[in-house]
A and B are shown apart, each in its own frame.
Chain A
Amino acid sequence: MSNSSARPTPLVGHPTALLEVQELSCRFGGLLALDRVSFSVQPGEIFGVIGPNGAGKTTLFNLISGVTPASGGAVCWRGEAITTLPPDRRNRLGVARTFQNLRLFEGLTVLENLLVALQRQPRSTALAGLLNSPRHRRAETQRLEKAWQLLEELELDRLAERQAGTLAYGDRRRLEIARALATGPALLLLDEPAAGLNPAEKEGLAALIRGLRSRHQLTLLVIEHHVPLLMRVCDRMAVLDFGVRIALGTPEQVRRDPNVIEAYLGGGA
């Protein structure tokens, strides 16, 4: 074990990979939702995960973001195991996510949703906040500036004062992305970003994802039902079926993989 942290790290990942998933398994009662799934994501990549319904895609995201505990295997971040860290610690290391079923802070305004996520950028102490010290005011100004930048980037600025719960579906999806970006991640996990969008919005999504990568120096891991979209935007992808990774490679390789054709066509999907 090369690292010196107090926590024992049973598995140490490859140092050049940003995220590495090693033999990851998740069991719910008698159901094996994920069965020894492995892959690694390199910095700057857009990595897609596809698979039929119930293949374990969202479970995979829950394990990577720390929402669900893994039953076996490891999640490594920049070569160090983070499998037992809670979600907030993982976020602070640079892992941010969106939710397929949208979990905005619906009682708060759009702007406040971003300010929540910006709470450590920059840090300020509670005492400074209570006393409204100059330092706290500077921090607040910076937070507001960053929030407005993100709102403009995702075309939400005119909705800033609206309650998040009252937004249209497409706007909520973009707010989820903006909120995740506000935490300053290195890796962004997008869970079905195209779900519920209209055709025009879906069309814009590919450009949005590429734009996010270049503007924020991001690595992206995207789950998507809409396979053609992912084929266009991803550098590499993994295919899950019944919790097992059945293929891995560039979109071109995956498209020709007999296992994938079997899973998508053989299953009658």
Chain B
Amino acid sequence: MQTLLNGAAAGGVYALVALGYTLVFSVLGVINFAQGALFSLGGYLTFLLMGGRISANGGLPGWGLPLALPFAPALLLAAMGAALASLLVERLAFAPLRQRNAEPLLSLITSLGAGLVLVNLLQLLMGAEGYAFPAGTLTGLPAAISLGGARIRSVQVLLLVICAAAVLLLTLWLERSRGGRALRAVAEDPTTARLLGIDSDAMVRLAFLLSGALAGLGGGLVGVSVSLPGPYFGIGYGLKGLAVLVLGGLGSVPGAIAGGLLMGLAEALVPADASGWRDALAFAILFAVLLLRPSGLLGRRLVEKV
């Protein structure tokens, strides 16, 4: 029971990251490699907003924000912070290339450059070591609850619930709202969308904003449920998210969700004595899927026009 829950919780986080990639990919057709760095940022921002102090090895030892918010507002603010940073990434790494009609390949490099800058700024400020959220961060929540005879960590339940809520809200927004439909229209056909009076640049910014918020949310959640093992920790989640993205099919929202859960569960089922290999599992699955079905589980096939 705990295993399955762990898997589902991790899967929820993977789905958040993959959805972030999906949003950007569907409007621009490129991968934003800064996603992992934004994930780290979300974790560290949550930590600071909850009154965490910088350790002796950081750039400002002992410094902390003059406030200590409860978890929920801190997480939300951190997600907003990551969203703003994501907007900045778009401005610096993507917008100049689009204006010059440069090869899309270049944005792989520039977005990774933006991610490197971000992660290393974090390292400069916070130091390279890990941080743990103090015990009792989640006041009012018992450490574990029992469910059907099994005791499970309540923070995992919380994580799963928040991930599910975020995914559900995003899906509903994409399906039902005006802004969501406009975003999907741009993803479908930018030229036609522009003819219909949709500001495609605004939609691109919106996609980055949302994907940054998702990454920030994921980073905060993982930070609170596990720890912050160092500024680079988001990169690993970013890579797993990439595997999930392809597993589900590039640009497919339900694919990203299904792929994330599948990947989380598969990892949770790796026996403990082979846990070292767990990190390879995602990529082994990805490899197999790519070979059997190159467009992903739920992706569309692309046909070249002659």
Chain A residues within CB distance 8 Å of chain B: 58, 62, 67-68, 99, 101
State the CA gap A67–B306 with chains docked (Å): 8
How far is A67 from B305 in the complex, measured between Cα atoms in Å? Answer: 10
Q: Which residue of B lies closest to A59 (CB)?
A: B306
Tell me how far the C-beta of B101 lies from the nearest C-beta in chain A, rounded to whole angstroms: 16
Name the CB-closest residue of B to A100: B306
Q: Which residues of B contact A101 (CB under 8 A)?
A: 306
Considering the chains assembled together, what is the distance between the CA atoms of A117 and B224 in angstroms? Answer: 61
Contact residues in A for B306 (Cβ distance below 8 Å): 58, 62, 67-68, 99, 101
Alpha-carbon distance between A58 and B306 when the two chains are bound, in angstroms: 9
A128 to B131, CA, bound (A): 60
Binding site for A on B (CB under 8 A): 306
Q: What are 6 A-B pairs at a CB distance below 8 A?
A: A58-B306, A62-B306, A67-B306, A68-B306, A99-B306, A101-B306
Q: Which are the 6 A-B pairs with shortest beta-carbon distances?
A: A67-B306, A62-B306, A68-B306, A99-B306, A58-B306, A101-B306
Q: Give Cα A134 to B306, complex, Å.
A: 40
Q: What residue of chain A has the Cβ atom nearest to residue B303's Cβ?
A: A28
Report how many A-B pairs have Cβ atoms within 8 Å: 6
| Nearest residue, chain B, Cβ from A99 | B306
Bound CA span A62–B305, Å: 11
| Secondary structure class of chain B's binding surface, majority of residues | loop
A61, closest chain B residue (CB): B306
Name the residue on A nearest B305 (C-beta): A101
Min CB–CB distance A58 → chain B (angstroms): 7
Q: Please give, as numbers and ranges, the residues of chain B lying within 8 Å of A58 by CB-CB distance.
A: 306
Q: A54 → chain B, closest Cβ, in Å?
A: 14
Min CB–CB distance A223 → chain B (angstroms) = 13
Contacts of A62 in B (CB 8 A): 306
Taking the closest CB of chain A, its distance from the CB of B303, in whole angstroms, is 8
Docked Cα-Cα span, A99 to B306, in Å, equals 8
Name the residue of chain A whose CB is nearest to the CB of B304. A67
A101 to B304, CA, bound (A): 14
B304 to chain A, nearest CB (A): 9
Expressed in whole angstroms, the minimum distance between the Cβ of A119 and any Cβ of chain B is 22
The residues of B that contact A99 with a CB separation of less than 8 Å are 306
CA distance A62 to B304 in the complex (A): 12
**Cβ of B305 to closest chain A Cβ, rounded Å:** 9
A95 to chain B, nearest CB (A): 15
Expressed in whole angstroms, the minimum distance between the Cβ of A105 and any Cβ of chain B is 16
Measured between C-beta atoms, what is the minimum distance from A31 to chain B in Å?
Answer: 13
Q: How far is the CB of A213 from chain B (nearest CB, A)?
A: 26
A103 CB to closest chain B CB (Å) equals 8
B82 vs chain A, min Cβ distance (A): 40
Closest Cβ–Cβ distance, residue B17 to chain A (whole Å): 34
A68: chain B residues within 8 A (beta carbon): 306
Q: How far is the CA of A68 from the CA of B306 in the complex (A)?
A: 9
Contacts of A67 in B (CB 8 A): 306
A186 to chain B, nearest CB (A): 22
Closest to A103 in B: B306
Within the complex, what minimum Cβ distance (angstroms) separates A195 from chain B?
15
- Complex-state Cα separation, A68 to B305, whole angstroms: 10
A25 to chain B, nearest CB (A): 18
What is the minimal beta-carbon distance from B306 to any residue of chain A, in angstroms?
Answer: 5
CA A178 to CA B306, docked complex, whole Å: 20
B300 CB → nearest A CB, Å = 13
CB distance from A27 to the nearest CB of B (A): 13
Nearest CB on A from B169, distance (A): 35
Give the distance to chain A from B100, nearest Cβ to Cβ, in Å.
Answer: 19
Question: With the chains together, A99 CA to B305 CA distance in Å?
Answer: 12
A68 to B304, CA, bound (A): 10
User: Within the complex, what minimum Cβ distance (angstroms) separates A71 from chain B?
Assistant: 14
Smallest beta-carbon distance A125→chain B, Å? 31
Taking the nearest CB of chain A, how far is it from the CB of B302, in angstroms?
14
- Which residue of chain B is the closest to A191 with respect to CB atoms? B306
A67 to B304, CA, bound (A): 10
B107 to chain A, nearest CB (A): 21
CA distance A62 to B306 in the complex (A): 8
The answer for the CA separation of A102 and B306 in the assembled complex, in Å, is: 10
Give A68's nearest chain B residue, CB to CB: B306
CA distance A67 to B303 in the complex (A): 11
Question: How far apart are B189's CB and chain A's nearest CB, in angstroms?
Answer: 18
Instruction: Give the docked Cα–Cα distance between A101 and B306 (Å).
Output: 8
**Least distance between A138 CB and chain B CB atoms (Å):** 37
Bound form: Cα–Cα A101–B305 in Å: 11
Complex alpha-carbon distance, A14 and B148, angstroms:
75
CA distance A58 to B305 in the complex (A): 11
* Cα distance A265–B33 in the bound complex, in angstroms: 58
Q: Smallest CB-CB separation from A62: which chain B residue?
A: B306
B49 shortest CB reach to chain A, Å: 52
Q: How far is the CB of A165 from chain B (nearest CB, A)?
A: 15
* Chain B, residue nearest A65 (CB): B306
Closest to A101 in B: B306
